[in-house]
Amino acid sequence: MLDFILGNKEAWRLIQMIPTFEGARIFVVGDLILDSFTYCRRTRTSSEDGRAFCVDVVKHELQIGGAGNAARCVRALGGSPAVFAVSGAGYHARKLNDALVDAGVDSALVRTDERPTTYKDRNRDVDTGELLLVVERQDRSPIPTWVGDGLLGRFASAAATRPHVVLVSDYDRGVVTEHVAKGVSRLSQKWGIPLIVDARERPLAWYKQAFKYLSLLTPNRRELSKVVGRELNTSAEIDTAAREVAEALDCDVLVTLSEQGARLYTRDGRVHRFDAKNGRPVSVSGGGDALVAAISVCLAKGILLAEACEIAQHAAAVCVGKPGTDVCSYAELLAHIESHPPRSKRSASAC
């Protein structure tokens, strides 16, 4: 009974801490993806090849993915996102722009006919939910310097809108080059606002070179392993690696550990541990975007990082509890905190 009371008090504390996120201006820089979801029904075996089957398309949906999904998550929570990215030209570029408008996301895109708009089509059996096929159209090579300059120019020009947080959403589709990263880092420092980087599998030396200024890095276990260049098989090895990265980059590091929750390693040597907030995930797609989006809007509203990470765990749990790539609304966030209270207060422990 005492645990239940403590849990409710902790949930109420978090809920009281969360203001409306209206006015939280978040700049998102990274790889935009046009996500396509095609729901099919198998009809027969192909007469051209007995190993293949024919399908009827029952439903088809388009939405913004990659950095766009992070921005969509910011918007769903009540914040005001703006995306700075690159697209191709033609049909998919127009559909991407339509999806951005439909999602209520501002954008400043560099368009080039030298590379395609990144497109990912997931084909699922409408009756069973089985993933049948994934079709991708993309160019993972680094964008040329002139394209990066165009992106940074748009980013710098938007300073008049007074962003509160910058979020780099790196999906390894060529936009987050060292050149772009350096420019974003420099401008974020100049503006005096937090810079969050949703990590990808890059070595520590690259991060040290690219981000001279960085507030928070958010790798999962696999990404952290790639950053430090070694296998991480135990909890102690994860602790050591995360502290190493925090010290080397002079930033805080949030390591996400799926069903084991997450750990925040601060640059002053403290560790905050967060329990996983979801039961049995329906889909892991989009959980990371919801996490960094929630942290961003929390920091924009003056919530301390440890509490922001605790709140963000709930946003991620809402998303992975839904099929496909979905978002967490402000109302859903509050409801999830109320229905999944911590058993006791999360406290930091010195290292």
Query: Which residues belong to the active site?
Result: 289
124, 38 contact by CB (below 8 A): yes
Residue 18 and residue 336 in contact, taking contact as beta carbons nearer than 8 Å = no
The helices-and-strands tally (H runs, E runs) of the chain is 11, 14
Residue 234: name the closest of 253, 254, 260 by CA.
260
Nearest Cα neighbor of 221 from 203, 199, 204 is: 199
DSSP-derived 3-state class of residue 104: coil
Start-to-end Cα distance in the chain: 32
Retrieve residue 151's tokens: 């992106």
State the Cα–Cα distance between residues 107 and 84, nearest whole angstrom: 6
Report d(CA 17, CA 42) in Å as an integer: 50
